[in-house]
Amino acid sequence: MDGAGGTFREIAGMVTEVAAQSKRMEEIVGGLSSSTEVISNAVGKISDMSKNASQESETVSASTEEQTATVHEIANATRNLASLAQELQSVVQQFKI
């Protein structure tokens, strides 16, 4: 009977150890779940920031195109004014005494 009691205690000890290991595994899984949620939230924020940066980049690009077009218009107007100035100078020189 003493042998059976010892075996029973040994089995009870193993069951207790398995229960403790199970609890530790449960804590680890819970920690992983929390970490996964944190990572998921961070990825969501990064995605939002990326979309915002992309939209701002498009705005900057459009503004740059508008400025480039304006600079070309100014250059054309400057050439036209220079041409008119030369024509006026030619006309004025005809009236020199």
Element (H, E) at 74: helix 2-94
pLDDT, tens only, 15-29: 899 988 988 888 888
pLDDT, tens only, 65-84: 999 999 999 999 999 999 99
Q: How many CA atoms lie within 13 A of 52 on its CB side?
A: 6
Claim: this prediction has a pTM higher than 0.85: no
Q: Give, as one character, the DSSP assignment of residue 75.
A: H
Amino acid in position 2: D
